[in-house]
Amino acid sequence: MIDRKEKEAEFFAQHEKTFSKLKLHDPFFTIKTAFFQKGKKGRHAQFFEWELSKDQDIFIEFYDYTEVNGEKDMIPMYKQRQLFMLKNNPFFKEEYETKETVKSTGESYISYLIPLDEMLVVMRNGDMISYSDFENGNYVEPQEQISLSHFPDFEKELSLDKESPDENFSLESIGLKDFAAVIWKKPVSDKKWLNDLITKTFN
């Protein structure tokens, strides 16, 4: 049996960096299915009144059901793990169509059908685009730039002083293999002195 809360936490973890960029520490996040409604254009999602009454923007990742070894599972609808946002709308009762669902117990509840094209699509860098731009591919996913802070302080990491074992040592002489050796803290450089320093420093 699928543990929905566990799945929701698993999906949420995929978007923590994006929420951090949006400066949201406790966003209202949920997972839902997106379906085609007869007589309606495009996909829709179903929301409960308590969700829309929270006066918060709702962040959503959509999923599909699949069956593996005879058991159902929830898998992301979009391979790129796309995050969506439904802006808070205090007038949802007047603007959205309702649907009544009757449970097997005979009880019924009302939900609201909201088209996906009313939602925003959240990029990984925190930017937002319209659903139509997303569907039509009218956007370019920003590439994360590598910050200089990602590069190690070679002198600090390896305790280098002015009397380097290689008299020609300079940062310009450090190649990708040398850089990898420092990052991995493994003696995989072609420079013996660098391998010796790594072994001495990190072992």
Q: Where are the domains of the chain?
A: 4-136, 148-202
Report which DSSP code applies to 118.
G
Reading the chain (203 residues) residue by residue, the pLDDT tens digits are: 788 999 999 999 999 999 999 999 999 999 999 999 888 899 999 999 999 999 999 999 999 999 877 888 999 999 999 999 999 999 999 999 998 888 888 888 899 999 999 999 999 999 999 999 999 888 876 665 544 444 455 555 555 544 445 445 555 566 777 777 777 777 888 888 888 887 877 66
Tokens of 95: 């603007």
Considering only the C-alpha atoms of the chain, give the largest distance between any 2 of them, rounded to a whole number of Å: 84
Positive or negative, the CA dihedral 76, 79, 81, 85 is: negative
Q: H or E segment at 61?
A: strand 58-68
Alpha helices in the chain (DSSP H): 4-13, 16-21, 49-52, 92-95, 131-136, 154-158, 176-184, 192-202
pTM assigned to the model: 0.68
Q: 39: left (phi > 0), else alpha (psi -120 to 50), else beta?
A: left
Who's near 62: CB < 8 A, 6+ residues apart?
A: 31, 32, 33, 34, 45, 76, 77, 78, 82, 84
Neighbours of 122 (CB within 10 A): 23
Residue 148, pLDDT score: 47
**How many other C-beta atoms can be found within 10 angstroms of the C-beta atom of residue 125?**
14
